[in-house]
Structure 1
Amino acid sequence: MVAHMWSGSVSLCFLLIYICSVYSTEFVPLFMWESSSESHPKEEIPALATITADEFKDIVMQKLQNKPVVVIFAEESLSVEDFSWKDEAGKGSFPNLESISSESDGLTYLPFVHAPLHAFRHHLPVQGREWYNLKLGPSSLSNDDIALNETLLYVNLDDAASDEDRPDLLKRHDAVISKVYRALAERHGDVLAVYTAHHSSWQTGEETPTRRIRHLLATDLEAGDEKAYGNNRTLLYAPTMILTIGQKSTTLENGIVGGDEDLIINFPDNITVVFSFENTKSPGYWSLQGVHVTVQNELYNFSDVKIGAPLEFSYHCSQEVVFNANDNKLNISNDFQIQPYIDGRRFGAAYDCVYFFTVPIWSGLFVCTVFTIIMIFGLGMIMDIKTMDRFDDPKGKTITINVAD
């Protein structure tokens, strides 16, 4: 009987733990904005509060008083970390949402909402209106006239590819959200847009930073990015290039890329910069042989270059890179990244110019070693101290004390 009660209690305990864990995983972030919010007053909502389904229903009911067009963009998974993520260039996954948030009224961001999609689909009265379900596909959603004429639009963003990184997926969805929302706002005027997910995509703190450090700018370079240069075999990312010839400095911008094995960039004012590479010195490695700059048909060679990495790896440097030749120099600002012998528009894993054991790290290790040696020596000296007992002489007669009953 006792064993049966004990097993029942254990089963109930595990059931409660399971229910609590499932319940906690259903808290997802929600981003909600409106094209017009003059019809109802704004309510202050604590930024870090957890919102239950009933509380969220009350919030949405206030926003539905004027029967706006409602569009829901539903990810399969989403987390607060997705909104705060940035690459080494400082760019997040939602540039279009940031632009929309600065233009729109009634902006609401709730980081922890319990089952918001369930509240929309099953608990909210829609006065006879039905949801129009639309799944993201290869065609542009903004061209779907039937969908744009609906007043309750549900866009399912479940189209992740197996070879697609999560930041790339979110950036692609961000572009779709912006396009659909602007088309609806232009056609209907009063639009309530919601961006949320079915489940949380929270990751442990050990996974996300590792990915950010390894890949750095390992994303497809955009064709219109003025900081990126690439031909069929070489990629270069240089935020700012400043060429100094004698006392004259020129900022190199708006370059046109050419060349095949070597990267040739033609800049205005008859300036050409050539990055030449080789992979014969060390097997399995590539190196930058030199940088050759031509200004008004006069050639300047920057051959004292120590840049290289294993094949299929890119070279990245978060510090300023300077190529010197006598009084002439070529400065490339922070976040310089380059890789030859590559197919496509994507950098490989980064081989950083800052080694793991930097000067501050070596200094810290040296100081810790010195203190450790001093500590060990001091403890040894303390343990070696022998105290004398004034009442006990090992060379004399043993003291005997008789105790009488």
Structure 2
Amino acid sequence: MTVSWFLSRERSFAENSLATEMADSRRSRRGHLMAFIVFFLALFSTGSSTAQVPVLMWSTESLPPVASATAGHITSNEQLTAFLSSAFGSGPHTVLLFLQDKLSKDDFTIFGGVFGNKQDSAFQNLEAALQSSPSSLTLSALEWSGSSALPALLQERLGVSPVLVDADTLSHLTINATVSNLLLINLPYCTGLHKSCKEALRDNDEIIGEVLSTMKAKEVPYTAIYTGLQPSRVISEMSMSNQPMGRSLLQTPAPPPVKPPIMVNTTGGPCIMLWAQNLSVSLSSSAPWIDLATETPDTTGSICNTNTSLLVLTYTNFTLSFAMSSRMYPVSARNWFTLDLVQVQSRGLTASFNGSRAIYAPSEYSFHCQSVTSFRDALLVSNNDNTNTSEWRVNFVDFQIQGFGLGNETNFSYASDCAGFFTAGIWMGLLTSLLMLYIFVYGLHMIMKLNTMDRFDDPKGPSISVPQSE
């Protein structure tokens, strides 16, 4: 009952705020537009656990009106299609699609800074564009089912293919306003490896500001759309039909399935296996990280025999190669394999990294390491003399590889981990235990050396006499 009362109060407050805002002047509406958007997104953030992305749209021309959505409403693709049909039904249009890799409603409430310090907001240029535009629209929740449908819908409604541009190429691009144009600006999202989410969103906001300034200088009317390719925060939704009826205590959803390792098979069975949570590549110190582990690679070109193994992973824009060798070391009287070389190929350029000094294990074992990088605590040493590839970096998270001794097994052998046994924590524990043991032994020794006194009177004074009575 308390939750229902709270939701009704929230809904009434939102309706009263909207009525008051409509009664104000147009200048006042623009001034509070972004604040209402963030409140709108925060109000609907608990309405449903279905994956969704927000859509912000503004235009130098008028947009068709949209009925006010009820609390918790999720805009379907059919409703979006109907709106785009009315918005771009006739005449040429120039559309700027700012498509971010990931975007959710929480990004506005956490990094917007609308209710706090506006100078600290990560969306200052976006706020200014929404405030100054004659017409705008906010869809707080657009249903998402694996991929963004907005680029395909815009391409269908405008009848043109998207043109990938950035702030620099747009300034040199000639835009014909008499025909429809769909300009796509890709924006990265934070990966946690080189900058925080707020810094990444602030950089994207600066790109939006540069693009809008260029369009203003060209005096071309446009409609801008800011959305995400996928949500940055997805809440898993459990189907009620698949849940058992009745009581359940401390019930948790099943963990997501673990992706299988990459395996190279020959006539004799598996010979190379690799698994990694992330296989990230960056082409410069300021470029965003590209995770190749999300794609399924082609292993054509991989070879393996008793002494050498070569794993070739071909992706859409990159090719990763892992060269391994096995040798006999008389000192240990066993074969050891080393990861001699890791190569990254892209755009006709090749970067090489040497890993033989740090990445090794017995040939019948696999090698595992939580972090294999080329830039911090590097296990891979760059061999790049070319200036075009000298800043290329790689980062492998939860990395495990085996190139020998698999036989007919489909699982990794015992893993030789890169972390040594005597870590800093173990050394601290050993030293602390030795110090406590020393204090205990010293105290026990002092106690054992104590002697009991044989007299309790003063030996220098007169002796004690006890008179006897008859």
The TM-score range, normalised by the shorter chain, is 0.3 to 0.5
- Could you state the TM-score of these two structures normalised by the residue count of structure 2? 0.35
Larger RCO (CA within 8 A; separation ≥ 6)? 1
- Could you state the TM-score of these two structures normalised by the residue count of structure 1? 0.40
